[in-house]
Amino acid sequence: MEAQSSVHPVHGESRGLEGEIVADVADGRFDLSSQPTMRIEMPVEALQSGNAMQDKELRRRVDARRYPKITGESKDVSQQGDGNRYRVRGDLTFHGVTRPVDGEVELSIPDERTLVLEGTQTFDIRDYGVDPPKILMLKVHPQVSVRVRVVGELQD
């Protein structure tokens, strides 16, 4: 996650993603004849910026106790061009608000057991009922760029 502020960029990272991608894969690509489905969840508590004061204010703003997870769920997956890029349409639930999301991801299969899905999307946190944090002289802008890298193990 990356956001801009009145002072400097704000970075955050999480390694707590969990979820499931149900898809047939052939020749390193999704087989779209059986529509792939994806669901990922991230505990808000797992998001860390490296600055304890910023993390505390973020958790307070998003009411992490009441809304402990950010959830993304696909509704439709379609191929973009001839490569391994896909358009994913679905819903994102954050801070108790569910909104439609439309973005692109890239699929790679580095070995016979591993699937990697990567994408970047920008969100305006005000769309989810969250006011941007303000800490002393630091005012965070409402647009947040989220980069997701999902590494999964292929199962038979």
Write the DSSP symbol of residue 131: P
CATH class name, domain 2-153 = mainly beta
pLDDT digits (tens, 9 = 90+) for 55-74: 888 888 889 999 999 999 99
Q: Which pTM was predicted?
A: 0.87
Q: How confident is the model at residue 125 (pLDDT cuts 50, 70, 90)?
A: very high
pLDDT digits (tens, 9 = 90+) for 77-90: 999 988 899 999 99
Distance CA 76, CA 90 (A): 7
Q: In this predicted structure, what is the pLDDT of residue 70?
A: 95
Report the run of H or E that residue 23 belongs to, with start and end: none
| Phi, psi (rounded to 5 degrees) for 27 | 55, 40
Domain segments of the chain: what residues? 2-153
| Phi, psi (rounded to 5 degrees) for 60 | -70, -45
Count of residues for the chain?
A: 156
